[in-house]
Homo-oligomer: A and B are copies of this chain.
Amino acid sequence: MLNVLTLEEAQNFVLKIAKKHGFLAESVPLESVSGRVLAKSIAADADLPAFDRSAVDGFAVLSRDTFGASAALPSLLRLAGEVKMGERAGFALGAGTCAAVWTGGELPQGADAMVMLEEAETLPGGLVAVEAAAVPGRHVVFRGDDVRRGEPLLPAGRRLSARDVGLLAALGVAEAPVSARPRVGVLSTGDELIDPGETPAGAQIRDLNGPMLTAACEEAGADARFFGRVPDDETALKRAMREAAERCDLLLLSGGSSAGAKDAAARCLEALGRVFFHGLALKPGKPTLAGMTDGTLTIGLPGHPAAAYLVFHALVRPVIAAMAGEELRETIVPAALTQAVPSNHGREELMPVRLKGAEAEPLFIKSGLVRPLTRADGYIRIPRDAEGLPSGARVDVILF
């Protein structure tokens, strides 16, 4: 008897194991952290900016000195000095005075606004004619406006972007604590499989799931390794599974998990550890399998490429994220279906779609085909109790 779960039950089950797994943190230089997952929250150890800073080239003023100023009736201010780039102001402004400050420079104490160069005229005798009124705070970034000391900024579990790298640099974080990439092993099973570089003889077919899943694991942030192809021989498969499991945090098996005669993967898993579930109430994805190989979480994916990829995205990707401590954030695009999708008969369904502007075209992918999968941008989840979806239905597309 197969122990069949819903996708959500299966997700919760494997995620619980993945979260218990824990991860190692490593310190990585700033130039290499983009795309990695932050292992510890980052807080600011100082205000940013560290001083009141001008956002323009111009004159620092006391805003009240400029109220009512215009080109016809400028305010005349005495130029009290210039703040050189790279130096603190070192002087204060009193009423009726101003100071030249370049973009990024510090405003002298007392100043609370900037007048841009093009709004002022330097006159002989050390005077500046200000031809526009400046409200308090105009063109000024005040100390702490960006970041306040002690404030939590980037949470643990965040996948770092180039913009985050900028913030880390601003905070003086030259090396960031990130989690080690989870090691994921991929094993393809099946007597009929050959290497993509080989020419099929007889009814052999090239193994595409092995390379595809290995690349998908890398995209998901894993340190992925393909352990090769194993025939449907339980002794060979058990040996390969143990050898791979020893070297990884998660083991993926491709193929070999149907309920048919060649169902070696489940028997091997039973022998080497245990089977958590065998079968999902999911279309496609029915022959999905999960268990433990010598204490290493093992997930068996369907042999059909589209099924394998969809179950990878829905079930395995979250596991890889959890093993890195990542807070996974799906990108979801609302769209309208271009055509009806018929009822899915009591199982939740994952339907690949292609986005065309605000519309989503469902791709009915026949079992075993791979090409239509390369046309898909993401997929929709159709609940088990939905009696199909009509053309024009609003759906949420989960992007690949």
A residues whose Cβ falls under 8 Å from a Cβ of B: 30-31, 33-35, 48-51, 53, 55-57, 83, 85-89, 102-106, 117, 139, 141, 145-147, 153-154, 161-174, 190-192, 195-200, 202-216, 218-219, 226, 232, 258-262, 303-305, 309, 331, 333-334, 358, 366-371, 373-374, 376, 399-400
Contact = CB atoms under 8 A, between A and B. Distances in A.
A221 B320 CA distance: 23
B146 A371 contact: yes
Contact of A368 (B30, B141, B161): B141
Closest 6 CB pairs of A and B: A166-B212, A57-B260, A174-B197, A55-B367, A162-B215, A162-B216
Contact of A163 (B103, B146, B202, B309): B309
Contacts of A154: 374
Contacts of A49: 205, 368
Nearest to A308: B166
A262 B102 contact: yes
Nearest to A397: B333
Contact of A374 (B87, B167, B172, B198): B167
A8 B169 CA distance: 31
A30 B200 CA distance: 18
A interface, by DSSP: helix, strand, loop or mixed?
loop
B203 A85 contact: yes
A149 to B, nearest CB: 13
A385 B376 CA distance: 36
Nearest to A207: B169
Given A85-B192, A87-B202, A104-B205, 18 more contacts: A33-B215, A57-B259, A102-B261, A104-B192, A104-B203, A117-B260, A141-B368, A162-B216, A163-B370, A163-B374, A166-B309, A167-B371, A169-B207, A170-B205, A172-B196, A172-B197, A172-B206, A174-B196
A400 B166 contact: no
A31 B232 CA distance: 24
A350 to B, nearest CB: 14
Nearest to A50: B200
Contacts of A258: 57, 103
B207 A85 contact: no
Contacts of A167: 208, 370-371, 373-374
Contacts of A104: 190, 192, 203, 205, 303, 368
B369 A145 contact: yes
Given A49-B368, A190-B104, A196 B208 contact: no
29 contacts: A30-B196, A31-B226, A34-B219, A55-B304, A55-B366, A56-B367, A57-B259, A87-B203, A102-B261, A104-B192, A104-B368, A105-B192, A106-B203, A146-B370, A161-B374, A161-B400, A162-B215, A162-B216, A162-B309, A163-B216, A166-B208, A166-B212, A166-B370, A166-B373, A169-B207, A169-B211, A170-B205, A172-B206, A331-B333
